[in-house]
Amino acid sequence: MLRTYDLRMKDVISIHDGRKLGSVSDIEFDLESGKMTALVVPGTGKFFGLFTRGEDIVIPWHKINKIGADVILVETNEIYTVKS
């Protein structure tokens, strides 16, 4: 069984280029069905990770390929960003 806390400890990696997107900072749920709909990864800092943060990355649940012991592999061709 997978707990939401366990997802927050994993790195999110793009399967297209192997780039580390970050770690899960939030999870979106559909309140009616109780199912997870997306993972949210915080945007990177604009100046060496300091001062300001970029836009958050929202990864729809259907774009998650594999949840492993240490990482979450995702497709990055349809990832959305939102202002933080």
How far apart are alpha carbons 34 and 14 in whole angstroms? Answer: 26
Q: What is the CATH number of the domain that holds 44?
A: 2.30.30.240
Q: Is 48 helix (H, G, I), strand (E, B) or coil?
A: coil
Given a cut of 70, whether residue 24 has pLDDT beyond it is: yes
How far apart are alpha carbons 67 and 11 in whole angstroms? Answer: 10
Q: Work out the mean pLDDT of the chain and round it to a whole number.
A: 83
Task: Output the CA torsion 66→72→62→52 (10° steps).
Answer: -170
Given a cut of 80, whether residue 1 has pLDDT beyond it is: no
The domain total for the chain is 1
Domain, as residue range, for 42: 4-82
DSSP state of 7: H
Of residues 52 and 29, which shows the higher confidence score? 29
Q: How confident is the model over 46-72, as pLDDT tens digits?
A: 555 555 567 888 999 999 999 998 999
pTM, 2 dp:
0.78
Q: Which ranges of 1-84 would DSSP assign to H, the alpha helix? A: 4-8
Of residues 40 and 52, which shows the higher confidence score? 40
Distance of CA 74 to the CA centre of its chain: 8
